Structure 1
Amino acid sequence: MTTAPPTPPDTDAAAFVAALRRLKAWSGFSYRQLERRAKDAGHVLPYSTAATMLGRDRLPRQELVAAFVAACGVRADEAQAWLDARVTIACGGPVVTTRSSRKRWSWQRCRAFAGALALAGALLAAAGGPFTDDVEVDEVGVSHHLPG
């Protein structure tokens, strides 16, 4: 009988990465096998990146967590729990309610914000970097910078 994969903690980055290490041990795959399995699942996870990720206590990027848990063989619903826990840690913890303002800040809002940031980063990367490319400025003859 196989055991269930480890569950992700949502307390702090060090505990999260320790759980990722347990997940790798649970999977029984080498770093090279994880790289191949991630590629087969449509992700990019270089073996050196996976090894570096598990050797630190910093919170890994969202796409690395998604690739890693998929490569380890975690089912989609369980994989989402890993991604949710990562967002909760990145956003500073679970639900916080303030009585005075009656505003409720939840991990769902933070997750939406994190998703928007990831989308903005992807769009900037797809655009080829900074928008103030010197070649474009030279061709147009207009600078969008304020005079100093």
Structure 2
Amino acid sequence: MTTAPPTPPDTDAAAFVAALRRLKAWSGLSYRRLERRAADAGHCLPYSTAATMLGRDRLPRAELVAAFVAACGVRGDMAQAWLDARTGIACGPAPALAPPAAAPAVIAVSAVAAPAAPAAPARVRPSRTRWALAGAAALVTVLLAGATASGALTDDEEVGVTRTSVRL
């Protein structure tokens, strides 16, 4: 490893994975050795996962990229560059900002320009956390309904004496 490691591209997922393959070749390590070095660095990178990741042209998860880059021996700013490139590819190109609109003309001296309303946010897909919470709530509801129907939440003790009972 006397030469500098390959730099991450920010074009597309296939080019990114190809650069990860070049990084593995640069490191000269086997998949099993990468697994051990990732564990030494505090990451989890099974050798089969690394092999599968490099065999596809899909963008790997960020934690896999971090583990793989650390296992290959890349640290500091260069490792962060790999994660930034991955994030850039995953999020797509930054939207071009429109130039600011011209200030509205004031017609009368007493007229005051109203502040511009904020742009409506783009529709955001519900996060996985929201779906996980909804699933957990449904599961708890089903479990409580089943427990109630089976009588698990009722007292099985027989009432011996009440105030309304008549003693014989």
Q: Same fold (TM over 0.5)?
A: yes
Do residues 140 (structure 1) and 162 (structure 2) align?
A: no
Paired amino acid for 2:144:
V
State the alpha-carbon separation in 2 of the partners of residues 96 and 139 from structure 1: 46
Offset at 1:69?
A: 0.1
Matched with 1:131 is 136
Shift of 1:137: 1.9
Give the structure with higher Rg (CA): 2
Whole-Å Cα distance in 1 between the matches of residues 52 and 142 of structure 2? 42
- Alignment partners' CA distance in 1, 2:142 and 2:14: 48
- The number of aligned residues is 120
* C-alpha RMSD of the superposition: 2.7
Note the residue ranges of structure 2 that are not aligned, 5 or more in a row.
102-126, 147-168
Distance 1:71 1:133 in 2: 41
Which position in structure 1 is the counterpart of 2:18? 18
Gapped regions of structure 1 (runs ≥ 5): 103-116, 143-148
Q: Deviations over 1:53-81 (max 9, x none)?
A: 00111000000000000000001211100
Q: TM-score, normalised by structure 1?
A: 0.71
Cross-structure match for 2:57: 57
The answer for the alignment partner of 2:150 in structure 1 is none
Task: State the percentage of identical aligned residues.
Answer: 69
Q: 1:35 to 1:101 in 2, by over 3 A?
A: farther
